[in-house]
A = this chain, B = another copy of it.
Amino acid sequence: MQRTNFGDMACSIARTLDVIGEPWSPLILRDVFAGMTRFEQMQADLGISRKVLTERLNHLVGHGILERQPYDRRPRYEYVLTERGAELVQLLMLMTAWGDRWLAGEAGPPVLYRHHACGEISRPELRCAHCGDPMSARDIDLLPGPGAPK
């Protein structure tokens, strides 16, 4: 995977990739979010190598995305989303929306979202936290922030 260390770059995208950018990591988060929280379940569902699954889970736990909790007196553990992790799920939701739109083809989306607030099947949209209007790539300018390099 990435031999170059993205975590040290002065870029929030690169830093986020350092946490969840490795192959499989987003799919592991998806599984945990969907309720497949145990090692064997994920391994079977994803078809990932056990070695890599171990590495990814440790990485995600280490970065505070998942927590490892025993669920038995035997050495059995399940992984649950932390607050940081739950916020990352928004990214997955947006990835789903993009994939549904551009890659799902004839068959249509494999999964639908029902929104608790309105009870409808819907999809997420990006809006400005300040004014509430839509906020897409064409609607913004980039400015250097306080953490900008130099």
**Which residues of A does B touch, CB under 8 Å?**
1-2, 4, 6, 10-17, 19, 21, 23-24, 26-27, 30, 33-34, 47-48, 81, 84, 86-105, 107-118, 120-149
Contacts and interface: CB of A to CB of B under 8 A. Distances in A.
Interface centre among A6, A19, A95, A117 (most CB of B within 10 A): A95
A16 B142 contact: no
A121 B27 CA distance: 32
B107 A147 contact: yes
A110 B144 contact: yes
Copies of this subunit = 2
A114 B98 contact: no
A119 B21 CA distance: 32
Given A133-B115, A137-B33, A142-B111, A13 B99 contact: yes
Nearest to A135: B124
A17 B12 contact: no
Contacts of A147: 104-105, 107-110
A98 B104 contact: no
B139 A17 contact: no
29 contacts: A6-B27, A11-B30, A12-B98, A12-B111, A13-B96, A15-B99, A90-B137, A91-B91, A91-B98, A93-B137, A107-B147, A108-B145, A111-B143, A111-B145, A111-B148, A113-B140, A115-B128, A115-B139, A116-B140, A117-B131, A117-B133, A118-B130, A118-B133, A122-B129, A122-B131, A123-B129, A124-B128, A125-B129, A132-B132
